[in-house]
A and B are shown apart, each in its own frame.
Chain A
Amino acid sequence: GAVGNALSRQVVDHYENPRNVGSLDRNAKNVGTGLVGAPACGDVMKLQVEVDENGKIVDARFKTFGCGSAIASSSLATEWVKGKTVDEALQIKNTDIAKELCLPPVKLHCSMLAEDAIKAALADYKLKQDPNKKEAEKKA
């Protein structure tokens, strides 16, 4: 457990034993890319998903500029989306991420950004599947 400001073992583990760090081909039609946060805030997450023809997420990658909790939150997000359908992945809540990583109150915004990153990646994927919808939205 976390004592005061000490990082939880889970958070440190995501940095020391990284999984899913990297990039997918953002130009591929079945890859969705989400980029959330801002350098001025000290938190930027890029999360990518690769979705198969059945709507299932088969691969995910992340890169994060942020504290240990931010890195762990986005890393965990990529672990959790794998194997889920797009709609299932949209159900992932920041509170679950925070609980899994034992994030203290001051770090809850990291888990919120990770949830935003998942949603942004999936929104990008959906937009790429339905460019007509994009056109319709533009006209609206």
Chain B
Amino acid sequence: SGRSADGTGAPRPLYMDVQATTPLDPRVLDSMLPYLTACYGNPHSRTHAYGWESEAAMEKARRQVADLIGADSREIIFTSGATESNNMAIKGVARFYKSRKKHIITTQTEHKCVLDSCRSLETEGFRVTYLPVKKNGLVDLKELEAAFQPDTSLVSVMTVNNEIGVKQPIHDIGEICRARKVFFHTDAAQAIGKIPMDVNDMKIDLMSISGHKIYGPKGVGAIYVRRRPRVRLEPLQSGGGQERGLRSGTVPTPLAVGLGAACEVAQQEMEYDHKRISQLAERLVTKIMSEVPDVVMNGDREHRYPGCINLSFAYVEGESLLMALKDVALSSGSACTSASLEPSYVLRAIGTDEDLAHSSIRFGIGRFTTEEEVDYTVQKCIQHVKRLREMSPLWEMVQDGIDLKSIKWTQH
């Protein structure tokens, strides 16, 4: 609907990249508008109605976030997004307990902000274990258990992976960590509002939340910090002591309100969305795989969130397929890694051959994705994969019965 604002005037592509970001749910926008217009008070202003009304809205939003994950309001801290929340959880906890605890466990498939926070801690003298994952993308629980050391302070494992959609065994990991009295943090940016999450059921001690992955605004997120047993963390940001001293800075009321509304809407829509998205995902995968040979789904078939589908199309390079599918907005691997020339580190961690890693596309199905959009995407995908294979020297060699692994390729 409408034309692109990029100067070309071309019609807007279909949006199939919900793991990168989501549009605002109209109900979320409605809830934010008063706080972007007449109700512009600072929520920390204690002396007048502008402040009081802003504070009330912020606290309501806090409750909405807490309700979605089975937490108490007092355990929700607003941040600028999941990146900040991840930084706070990892660096904050590590540094607070550093006199007695110097070891952290995480996985090789975490989001860059988790991995980079860990690397940063290594330069401060902490030790980090980056657990490998199995070919299906899931953590091996035995390897996790073996990785604990007497001075482990934190385990960080994301709930749903943003590139391949696999869902980690969070219940089991929570049990393992609680039994050893080690804090368990999960980056739930791609999970909350899409699958049921309960911090007590799952024995989660810290959780990162992102607004713009759940039809909320960009620029806001939250971190859940357990009160019983108490998790302490060293703040990253110093200032006036807002958010229980853990995150100074004026809470952006319109954004917080948007995050709260997004959480409440997600809670209402979760079951319906999940069912509809599962059906659409099944439709997409079945149609593509029945028409096109040599397609691999990356990540476990069962333990996944259905709305994130990562497929490798052998003998076709991913970027060329994205170019061919110009009227569909998709991505090849994570946006964060696209600036480098390396294929996705997540695909490398699950053991994908490098040529297949270059051939991967991520399809995102969301709350507003229609069946027509899925069918159009499928049709174009099939058409252009076939066309690109006709242009592929690799496909030609395979058709001629040549084993590609036997070729001595040139280096450059």
Binding site for B on A (CB under 8 A): 3, 6-7, 11-12, 15, 18, 21, 23, 35-46, 63-68, 70-71, 106, 109, 112-113, 116, 120
B355 A39 Cβ-Cβ under 8 A: yes
Q: Whose C-beta in chain B lies nearest to the C-beta of A7? A: B323
**In the complex with contacts A37-B412, A65-B316, A46-B393 CB distance below 8 A:** yes
In the complex the two chains form, what is the Cα distance from A31 to B319 in whole Å?
A: 31
**In the complex with contacts A3-B6, A63-B392, A39-B323 CB distance below 8 A:** no
Q: Is residue B14 within 8 Å, beta carbon to beta carbon, of the partner chain?
A: no
Residue among B355, B390, B391, B409 with most chain A CB within 10 A: B391
How near does chain A come to B408, taking the closest CB pair, in angstroms? Answer: 10
Contacts of A43 on B, CB cut-off 8 Å?
A: 317
**In the complex with contacts A63-B396, A65-B315, A39-B409 CB distance below 8 A:** yes
Contacts of B195 on A, CB cut-off 8 Å?
A: none
Q: Whose C-beta in chain A lies nearest to the C-beta of B384? A: A15
In the complex the two chains form, what is the Cα distance from A66 to B86 in whole Å?
A: 35
- Main SS class of interface, A: mixed
In-complex Cβ contact of B393 among A18, A42, A64, A109 (8 A): A64
How near does chain B come to A67, taking the closest CB pair, in angstroms? Answer: 4
In the complex the two chains form, what is the Cα distance from A40 to B353 in whole Å?
A: 8
A65 B409 Cβ-Cβ under 8 A: no
In the complex the two chains form, what is the Cα distance from A74 to B411 in whole Å?
A: 17
- Main SS class of interface, B: loop
In order of increasing CB-CB distance, the 4 nearest A-B pairs are A39-B355, A38-B409, A42-B358, A67-B319
B320 A66 Cβ-Cβ under 8 A: yes
Could you list 22 A-B pairs, sorted by A, with CB under 8 Å?
A35-B393, A37-B412, A39-B358, A39-B409, A40-B354, A40-B409, A42-B343, A43-B317, A44-B409, A46-B396, A63-B391, A63-B393, A63-B396, A65-B392, A65-B393, A65-B395, A66-B317, A68-B320, A70-B320, A112-B412, A113-B412, A120-B410
B320 A71 Cβ-Cβ under 8 A: yes
Binding site for A on B (CB under 8 A): 6-7, 315-317, 319-320, 323-324, 326, 341, 343, 353-355, 358, 390-396, 404, 409-412
How near does chain B come to A33, taking the closest CB pair, in angstroms? Answer: 10
In the complex the two chains form, what is the Cα distance from A112 to B412 in whole Å?
A: 9
In the complex the two chains form, what is the Cα distance from A71 to B388 in whole Å?
A: 10
Contacts of A113 on B, CB cut-off 8 Å?
A: 412
In the complex the two chains form, what is the Cα distance from A43 to B359 in whole Å?
A: 11
How near does chain B come to A112, taking the closest CB pair, in angstroms? Answer: 7
B6 A6 Cβ-Cβ under 8 A: yes
Q: Whose C-beta in chain B lies nearest to the C-beta of A9? A: B8
B341 A45 Cβ-Cβ under 8 A: no
Contacts of A42 on B, CB cut-off 8 Å?
A: 317, 343, 354-355, 358
Contacts of A120 on B, CB cut-off 8 Å?
A: 410
B393 A40 Cβ-Cβ under 8 A: no
In-complex Cβ contact of B410 among A15, A38, A106 (8 A): A38
B410 A21 Cβ-Cβ under 8 A: no
**In the complex with contacts A39-B404, A46-B393, A65-B410 CB distance below 8 A:** no
How near does chain A come to B112, taking the closest CB pair, in angstroms? Answer: 18
Residue among A12, A35, A42 with most chain B CB within 10 A: A42
A64 B319 Cβ-Cβ under 8 A: no
Q: Whose C-beta in chain A lies nearest to the C-beta of B356? A: A39
A64 B392 Cβ-Cβ under 8 A: yes
How near does chain B come to A29, taking the closest CB pair, in angstroms? Answer: 21
B390 A21 Cβ-Cβ under 8 A: yes
In the complex the two chains form, what is the Cα distance from A8 to B199 in whole Å?
A: 49
A15 B320 Cβ-Cβ under 8 A: yes
In the complex the two chains form, what is the Cα distance from A50 to B387 in whole Å?
A: 24
